[in-house]
Amino acid sequence: MKVFSNLAMSLDGKIATRSRELFLLGTPRDHQEMQRLRKQADAILIGASTLRSYKKPNLISKAKTQPINALLSTHLDGISPHWPFFQDPKVHRVLFVGHTLSPARAKKFEKTSELVLLKPPTKKKPASVQIVEWFKKRGTKSLLIEGGGGIMWDFSSAHLIQEYHVTLTPKIIGGATAATLVDGRGFLPKEILNLKLKQCRVIGNEIYLVYQALRSSLEATSR
């Protein structure tokens, strides 16, 4: 199974402003690139904070078969089952939720989505590993992580992202609390992930980068 990510980032490494509200960081060309990558994905995962900021419509692809639209959230707080994200009957939605989600809250989403209760995370089995194992069991061949920085940390710190697609955009966002490509606790020097540059395309004022992780624990997760 292939796990890859795609996000747009400002020159100073931010993927959103400190207010986390919706704005287009990339150009229409970047949007095309996102569509190209979505076509390669059987499933696309976003974090709850991203959905809350976008109230996003489906993570649609121009391919005939729509990818699974997956979401990671502890309690689905601040998310409404009436948002466009939950409306398209052609899309299969999977909500990965914390084990402490109340049955009453779960019920509100059961009509439109499949709910997967995650086990309490352990060092060996954090949420990201459980999610990858769930997709592997379903025969999913490719999972695209579209951010934000919170879930990027969950997956990259578990060495689960093999390929990082990053669009470097000619903007400075700043802000110590603005979301970055990978947030979370962060690495210490001896833990830092090393990557290899696979592709670099300059298109207009943007740079399209593809980096490959030098270490992956994907084979180690159970099949």
Ligand X SMILES: NC(=O)c1ccc[n+]([C@@H]2O[C@H](COP(=O)([O-])OP(=O)(O)OC[C@H]3O[C@@H](n4cnc5c(N)ncnc54)[C@H](OP(=O)(O)O)[C@@H]3O)[C@@H](O)[C@H]2O)c1
CB of 200 to ligand X, least distance (A): 18
Q: Residue 31's CB: how many other CB atoms inside 10 A?
A: 13
CB of 182 to ligand X, least distance (A): 9
By Cβ distance, which residue is nearest to ligand X?
148
Under the binding rule (CB under 6 A), the answer on residue 8 touching ligand X is yes
Binds ligand X (CB under 6 A): choice among 27, 53, 58, 212:
53
Specify the residue, 43 or 46, whose C-beta has the smaller distance to ligand X.
46
Give the C-alpha separation, 85 to 55, whole Å: 7
Under the binding rule (CB under 6 A), the answer on residue 74 touching ligand X is yes
Under the binding rule (CB under 6 A), the answer on residue 182 touching ligand X is no
Specify the residue, 16 or 70, whose C-beta has the smaller distance to ligand X.
16
Angle between helices 127-137 and 149-157 (to 10 degrees): 80
Give the C-alpha separation, 40 to 141, whole Å: 9
Considering only residues 82 to 101 of the shown chain, the ones binding ligand X according to CB under 6 A are 98
Q: CA dist 59 to 48, 99, 183, Å? A: 14, 25, 22
For the beta sheet containing 43-47, the strands, ordered from the edge strand earlier in sequence to the opposite edge, are 114-117, 93-97, 68-73, 43-47, 142-145, 2-10, 163-169, 206-213, 195-203
Under the binding rule (CB under 6 A), the answer on residue 151 touching ligand X is yes
Q: Residue 144's CB: how many other CB atoms inside 10 A?
A: 26
Under the binding rule (CB under 6 A), the answer on residue 179 touching ligand X is yes
Binds ligand X (CB under 6 A): choice among 3, 33, 50, 221:
50
Q: For the chain, how long is the longest CA-to-CA vector?
A: 50
In the complex, the residues that contact ligand X under the rule CB under 6 A are 7-8, 15-16, 20, 22, 25, 46-50, 53-54, 72-75, 77, 98, 121, 127, 146-151, 154, 179, 183
